[in-house]
Amino acid sequence: MENLNTVLWILFGVLSVVEGILRWIAPAYRKNPAHAGTVETLDSLWVAMAVALALKTVLLQPFTIPSGSMEDTLQVGDYILVKKYEYGYSLFNQTPRFLEFQKPHRGDIVVFVFPLDHSKDFIKRCIGTPGDVVELRNQDLYVNGQLQFEPYVKHVLPMPLALREEGPDSVKVNFGPVTIDPGHYFMMGDNRDNSYDSRYWGQLDEKLIKGRAWFIYWHSQNFIPDFHRMFKMLH
Protein backbone atom coordinates (compact mmCIF):
# COMPACT_ATOMS: atom_id res chain seq x y z
CA MET A 1 0.00 0.00 0.00
CA GLU A 2 2.94 2.32 0.53
CA ASN A 3 3.74 1.84 -3.17
CA LEU A 4 0.20 2.97 -3.97
CA ASN A 5 0.67 6.03 -1.77
CA THR A 6 3.83 6.91 -3.70
CA VAL A 7 1.96 6.55 -7.00
CA LEU A 8 -0.81 8.86 -5.74
CA TRP A 9 1.69 11.55 -4.76
CA ILE A 10 3.45 11.25 -8.13
CA LEU A 11 0.13 11.60 -9.97
CA PHE A 12 -0.77 14.59 -7.84
CA GLY A 13 2.61 16.16 -8.64
CA VAL A 14 2.12 15.62 -12.37
CA LEU A 15 -1.39 17.08 -12.26
CA SER A 16 -0.08 20.07 -10.29
CA VAL A 17 2.56 20.73 -12.94
CA VAL A 18 -0.06 20.50 -15.70
CA GLU A 19 -2.35 22.87 -13.77
CA GLY A 20 0.51 25.33 -13.35
CA ILE A 21 1.35 25.22 -17.05
CA LEU A 22 -2.27 25.83 -18.05
CA ARG A 23 -2.67 28.72 -15.60
CA TRP A 24 0.62 30.55 -15.98
CA ILE A 25 2.40 29.43 -19.16
CA ALA A 26 -0.41 28.57 -21.56
CA PRO A 27 -3.48 30.51 -20.37
CA ALA A 28 -4.74 30.80 -23.97
CA TYR A 29 -5.21 27.01 -24.08
CA ARG A 30 -7.18 27.13 -20.85
CA LYS A 31 -9.48 29.90 -22.12
CA ASN A 32 -10.13 28.27 -25.49
CA PRO A 33 -13.76 26.97 -25.50
CA ALA A 34 -12.67 24.03 -27.62
CA HIS A 35 -10.59 22.75 -24.70
CA ALA A 36 -13.16 23.40 -21.98
CA GLY A 37 -13.93 19.71 -21.43
CA THR A 38 -10.27 18.75 -21.07
CA VAL A 39 -9.55 21.66 -18.71
CA GLU A 40 -12.59 20.87 -16.57
CA THR A 41 -11.56 17.21 -16.30
CA LEU A 42 -8.02 18.15 -15.26
CA ASP A 43 -9.33 20.63 -12.69
CA SER A 44 -11.68 18.03 -11.23
CA LEU A 45 -8.95 15.38 -11.04
CA TRP A 46 -6.56 17.80 -9.34
CA VAL A 47 -9.14 18.82 -6.72
CA ALA A 48 -10.13 15.19 -6.12
CA MET A 49 -6.50 14.16 -5.67
CA ALA A 50 -5.83 17.07 -3.33
CA VAL A 51 -8.84 16.17 -1.16
CA ALA A 52 -7.97 12.46 -1.12
CA LEU A 53 -4.36 13.08 -0.13
CA ALA A 54 -5.40 15.57 2.54
CA LEU A 55 -7.80 13.01 4.03
CA LYS A 56 -5.13 10.31 3.87
CA THR A 57 -2.57 12.52 5.57
CA VAL A 58 -4.82 13.83 8.33
CA LEU A 59 -7.81 11.50 8.85
CA LEU A 60 -7.72 8.01 7.31
CA GLN A 61 -5.11 5.93 5.54
CA PRO A 62 -5.33 2.52 3.89
CA PHE A 63 -2.76 -0.17 4.63
CA THR A 64 -2.22 -3.75 3.55
CA ILE A 65 -1.08 -6.59 5.78
CA PRO A 66 2.21 -8.02 4.43
CA SER A 67 2.97 -10.71 7.02
CA GLY A 68 1.34 -13.18 9.40
CA SER A 69 2.54 -11.60 12.66
CA MET A 70 -1.02 -10.55 13.60
CA GLU A 71 -2.78 -13.80 12.66
CA ASP A 72 -5.52 -14.75 13.10
CA THR A 73 -6.82 -11.23 13.80
CA LEU A 74 -5.24 -9.90 10.62
CA GLN A 75 -4.19 -12.05 7.69
CA VAL A 76 -1.99 -11.55 4.67
CA GLY A 77 -4.26 -10.06 2.02
CA ASP A 78 -6.28 -7.90 4.41
CA TYR A 79 -6.72 -4.26 3.46
CA ILE A 80 -7.45 -2.06 6.46
CA LEU A 81 -8.32 1.53 7.21
CA VAL A 82 -6.38 3.31 9.95
CA LYS A 83 -7.72 6.27 11.91
CA LYS A 84 -4.82 8.74 12.03
CA TYR A 85 -6.59 11.48 13.98
CA GLU A 86 -7.48 9.47 17.09
CA TYR A 87 -4.04 9.55 18.71
CA GLY A 88 -3.14 12.99 17.40
CA TYR A 89 -0.07 13.90 15.38
CA SER A 90 3.69 14.24 15.62
CA LEU A 91 5.41 16.37 12.99
CA PHE A 92 7.90 14.24 11.08
CA ASN A 93 7.84 11.80 14.02
CA GLN A 94 9.93 14.27 15.99
CA THR A 95 7.61 16.49 18.02
CA PRO A 96 5.42 15.67 21.03
CA ARG A 97 1.95 14.56 19.94
CA PHE A 98 -0.77 17.19 19.66
CA LEU A 99 -4.53 17.28 18.95
CA GLU A 100 -4.94 13.93 20.72
CA PHE A 101 -8.47 12.60 21.17
CA GLN A 102 -7.10 9.78 23.30
CA LYS A 103 -3.97 7.82 24.15
CA PRO A 104 -3.44 4.25 22.96
CA HIS A 105 -5.01 1.71 25.29
CA ARG A 106 -4.02 -1.84 26.04
CA GLY A 107 -5.54 -4.03 23.33
CA ASP A 108 -5.54 -1.38 20.59
CA ILE A 109 -4.15 -2.47 17.22
CA VAL A 110 -1.70 0.25 16.24
CA VAL A 111 0.17 1.16 13.04
CA PHE A 112 3.53 2.82 13.61
CA VAL A 113 6.86 3.63 12.04
CA PHE A 114 9.32 0.83 12.72
CA PRO A 115 11.87 2.25 15.19
CA LEU A 116 14.87 0.59 13.53
CA ASP A 117 13.93 1.54 9.95
CA HIS A 118 11.73 4.58 9.43
CA SER A 119 11.01 3.56 5.83
CA LYS A 120 8.82 0.70 7.12
CA ASP A 121 5.45 0.62 8.86
CA PHE A 122 4.57 -2.05 11.41
CA ILE A 123 1.26 -3.11 12.90
CA LYS A 124 1.02 -4.70 16.35
CA ARG A 125 -1.22 -4.78 19.39
CA CYS A 126 -0.57 -2.44 22.30
CA ILE A 127 0.24 -4.62 25.31
CA GLY A 128 1.68 -2.10 27.75
CA THR A 129 1.21 1.63 28.32
CA PRO A 130 3.48 4.07 30.19
CA GLY A 131 4.15 2.89 33.73
CA ASP A 132 2.93 -0.68 33.16
CA VAL A 133 5.08 -3.64 34.17
CA VAL A 134 5.00 -6.26 31.39
CA GLU A 135 6.09 -9.86 31.80
CA LEU A 136 5.73 -13.19 30.00
CA ARG A 137 5.67 -16.31 32.16
CA ASN A 138 5.54 -19.57 30.24
CA GLN A 139 3.83 -17.77 27.31
CA ASP A 140 1.20 -16.13 29.56
CA LEU A 141 1.13 -12.34 29.63
CA TYR A 142 1.08 -10.50 32.94
CA VAL A 143 0.62 -6.74 33.21
CA ASN A 144 1.19 -5.18 36.62
CA GLY A 145 1.20 -8.68 38.07
CA GLN A 146 -2.21 -9.59 36.65
CA LEU A 147 -2.70 -12.44 34.19
CA GLN A 148 -4.22 -11.06 30.98
CA PHE A 149 -7.11 -12.61 29.06
CA GLU A 150 -5.99 -12.71 25.42
CA PRO A 151 -8.42 -14.69 23.25
CA TYR A 152 -6.81 -13.29 20.09
CA VAL A 153 -3.35 -14.78 20.75
CA LYS A 154 -2.06 -17.60 18.55
CA HIS A 155 0.80 -19.92 19.54
CA VAL A 156 2.56 -22.20 17.07
CA LEU A 157 4.21 -24.12 19.89
CA PRO A 158 1.99 -24.53 22.93
CA MET A 159 3.39 -25.20 26.38
CA PRO A 160 5.19 -27.44 27.33
CA LEU A 161 6.44 -28.08 23.76
CA ALA A 162 7.61 -24.48 23.47
CA LEU A 163 9.57 -24.74 26.72
CA ARG A 164 11.27 -27.92 25.52
CA GLU A 165 12.12 -26.65 22.00
CA GLU A 166 12.74 -22.95 22.67
CA GLY A 167 14.14 -23.15 26.18
CA PRO A 168 13.22 -21.12 29.27
CA ASP A 169 15.34 -18.15 28.20
CA SER A 170 13.51 -17.62 24.91
CA VAL A 171 11.47 -14.39 24.77
CA LYS A 172 8.74 -16.49 23.17
CA VAL A 173 8.36 -18.25 26.51
CA ASN A 174 9.60 -15.92 29.25
CA PHE A 175 10.29 -12.21 29.11
CA GLY A 176 10.78 -9.40 31.58
CA PRO A 177 9.51 -8.01 33.77
CA VAL A 178 10.07 -4.58 32.18
CA THR A 179 8.57 -1.23 33.17
CA ILE A 180 7.28 0.89 30.28
CA ASP A 181 8.92 4.32 30.11
CA PRO A 182 6.93 7.59 29.96
CA GLY A 183 5.81 8.31 26.40
CA HIS A 184 6.43 4.73 25.29
CA TYR A 185 4.39 1.60 24.58
CA PHE A 186 5.02 -2.13 24.46
CA MET A 187 3.84 -3.75 21.23
CA MET A 188 3.36 -7.43 20.43
CA GLY A 189 1.88 -9.43 17.57
CA ASP A 190 -1.11 -11.70 18.08
CA ASN A 191 0.80 -14.51 16.36
CA ARG A 192 3.00 -14.52 19.42
CA ASP A 193 5.62 -17.05 18.24
CA ASN A 194 6.13 -15.40 14.83
CA SER A 195 6.20 -11.69 15.59
CA TYR A 196 9.18 -9.33 15.54
CA ASP A 197 8.01 -6.93 18.24
CA SER A 198 8.97 -5.05 21.40
CA ARG A 199 10.48 -8.18 22.91
CA TYR A 200 13.25 -7.84 20.32
CA TRP A 201 13.58 -4.15 19.43
CA GLY A 202 12.34 -2.47 22.59
CA GLN A 203 9.63 -0.01 23.55
CA LEU A 204 7.83 2.15 21.00
CA ASP A 205 8.22 5.93 21.22
CA GLU A 206 4.78 7.52 20.90
CA LYS A 207 6.18 9.95 18.31
CA LEU A 208 6.34 7.05 15.84
CA ILE A 209 2.65 6.14 16.08
CA LYS A 210 0.60 6.62 12.90
CA GLY A 211 -2.86 5.58 14.04
CA ARG A 212 -5.28 2.90 15.22
CA ALA A 213 -6.48 0.11 12.94
CA TRP A 214 -10.22 0.55 12.38
CA PHE A 215 -11.66 -2.14 10.10
CA ILE A 216 -10.92 -4.49 7.22
CA TYR A 217 -12.47 -3.08 4.05
CA TRP A 218 -11.17 -5.67 1.58
CA HIS A 219 -9.57 -9.08 1.55
CA SER A 220 -8.39 -11.10 -1.38
CA GLN A 221 -6.09 -13.98 -2.13
CA ASN A 222 -5.22 -14.82 -5.71
CA PHE A 223 -7.57 -11.96 -6.72
CA ILE A 224 -10.58 -13.75 -5.22
CA PRO A 225 -12.42 -11.57 -2.67
CA ASP A 226 -13.25 -13.03 0.73
CA PHE A 227 -16.49 -11.32 1.70
CA HIS A 228 -16.52 -12.99 5.13
CA ARG A 229 -13.55 -10.86 6.23
CA MET A 230 -14.71 -7.57 4.73
CA PHE A 231 -16.03 -4.76 6.95
CA LYS A 232 -14.75 -6.58 10.03
CA MET A 233 -14.18 -4.16 12.90
CA LEU A 234 -10.83 -4.47 14.66
CA HIS A 235 -10.60 -4.57 18.45
Mean pLDDT by 10 residues, the chain (235 residues): 60 76 76 75 73 67 89 91 91 88 95 94 97 96 97 91 89 95 97 96 97 90 76 81
- The residues facing 81 across adjacent strands are 62, 215
Known catalytic residue: 172?
no
Cis ω before 158 (30° cut-off from 0): no
Cβ atoms 133, 178 nearer than 8 A: yes
Catalytic choice (84, 124, 207, 210): 124
Reduced to 3 states (helix: H, G, I; strand: E, B; else coil), residue 54 is helix
Known catalytic residue: 220?
no
198: amino acid identity, one letter = S
* Calpha distance 75→219 (Å, rounded): 9
Say what the pLDDT of residue 66 is: 86
Say what the pLDDT of residue 55 is: 64
Catalytic choice (69, 90, 195, 198): 69
* Calpha distance 32→192 (Å, rounded): 63
Q: Which of 223, 174, 221, 220 is nearest to 199 (CA)?
A: 174
Say what the pLDDT of residue 64 is: 87
Max distance between CA atoms of the chain, in angstroms, equals: 79
Exposure string (b/e) for 123-147, b if CB count within 10 Å is 16 or more?
Answer: bbbbbbbbebbbbbeebebebeeee
